[in-house]
Structure 1
Amino acid sequence: MTPTDLPGREPDEESAADALVERILAGVPRPVAWARLNEATAAAAWSDLDAWVRWLARRYSLDHRDVPPCWFAHGHLVEELTALRTAHRVCFDSAGAAQGPAEWHQTFASSRGRLQLWASRTGCRAGEHRPDAPPEWAAEPAPTDYARAFADHVAADLGTRPPSPAPGSVRTASAPHIMTGPGTEGGPW
């Protein structure tokens, strides 16, 4: 869902709201949700992430077994490195807690194992890139046999649940909010 897909919100109102949020949170590290970024924001995020990943590789003497030079072509590495960058920014924020840098190194140590696993799964080496091969069942549109099996599973699951509240009734704590409506077709992010 994009901000302009919100019911009752006009693009000008959304721009004003975005400006207010930016003014309030300016400089505060925030997570990057790649699927939600527009072209200009994505361009800036890619540039910032590239500079940070190259700094990380130099600072910690990482090689292709940690982060292959084609990291940007592997979504799983992009997501992990983006999360690490955000954690680094939070942990080293001048207004942050004194134990922040130690927390960063704990986060980095646990993430480094995942980076190494994913880097090894790519099969990439210095000067040699191998594109990711996502599983066939994850293709868009979903293969018929997968879509049928998934639909059957969801129908069976829904049959075990209490009925939904009537439209317009108040949601309770036992009914979590699930994003639905225009713009949410791509997933829950």
Structure 2
Amino acid sequence: MNEPHHLLTIIKAQQEAIDRLMALVQERKQPEPAKRKERRERPIDWLTISEKERAAAWRGLAAFVESLVFRYGLQMEIQPCWWRHAEAVEELTALWQVRQNAFGENATLGSGMQWQNAFHSSRKRLSTMFGSCRSGHIDSTVTMWMTEDDRKAFDHAVENGL
């Protein structure tokens, strides 16, 4: 009689240990919603990004652009000087972030199609951004937009109530 009681005690102790382990496993499987939000990345804003984040963002964007060019055969649409064109950098950054979101942790079944729609819309805009660079990069950045006289006239207009 003593032996069955001893076996029941052992089984009970093992079941309690299993229950504690299962509780620990469940706790680790379900992260708190607040913790998930903390890990969420913010969109890249090239006008305000810190120097510390800038290099990593450029490397990530460059890897994305290169994979995009080869995956979709965009060698004729996106020129190698893409990084010198502010408009293209902004467009490609937005596209990169849409793709990250579409295939990220919170993606839905429709996210892949949303990515495709965004890509094809962006592709049309990108095709017009490198018109002057077909045979090599041509700098088209504006070095001066308003002359000093234009600025003075603007300041005067603002001071006098436009």
Alpha carbons of structure 1 residues 23 and 130: separation in structure 2 relative to 1, 3 Å: same
1:124 aligns to what? 133
Q: Provide the secondary structure at the position in 2 that maps to 1:56.
A: helix
- Taking only aligned residues, the RMSD between alpha carbons, in angstroms, comes to 2.5
More helix by share: 2
- Cα distance between partner residues in 2 of 1:99 and 1:80: 22
- Taking every aligned residue pair, what percent have the same amino acid on both sides? 33
AA aligned opposite 2:57: A
Specify which of 73, 95, 107 is matched with residue 96 of structure 1: 107
Give yes or no for the alignment of 1:86 onto 2:94: no
- Cα distance between partner residues in 2 of 1:109 and 1:22: 34
- Point out where structure 2 has 5 or more consecutive residues left out of the alignment: 1-33
Give yes or no for the alignment of 1:59 onto 2:71: yes
Contact 1:90-1:96 within 8 A present in 2 as well: yes
Alpha carbons of structure 1 residues 85 and 22: separation in structure 2 relative to 1, 3 Å: farther
Question: Higher relative contact order at CA 8 Å, sep ≥6: structure 1 or structure 2?
Answer: 1
Alpha carbons of structure 1 residues 114 and 152: separation in structure 2 relative to 1, 3 Å: farther
1:146 aligns to what? 150
- Cα distance between partner residues in 2 of 1:143 and 1:23: 50
Aligned-residue offset at 1:152: 5.0
Give yes or no for the alignment of 1:38 onto 2:46: no
- Point out where structure 1 has 5 or more consecutive residues left out of the alignment: 1-20, 160-189
AA aligned opposite 1:89: Q
1:133 aligns to what? 141
Alpha carbons of structure 1 residues 53 and 150: separation in structure 2 relative to 1, 3 Å: same
Pick the structure with greater CA Rg: 2
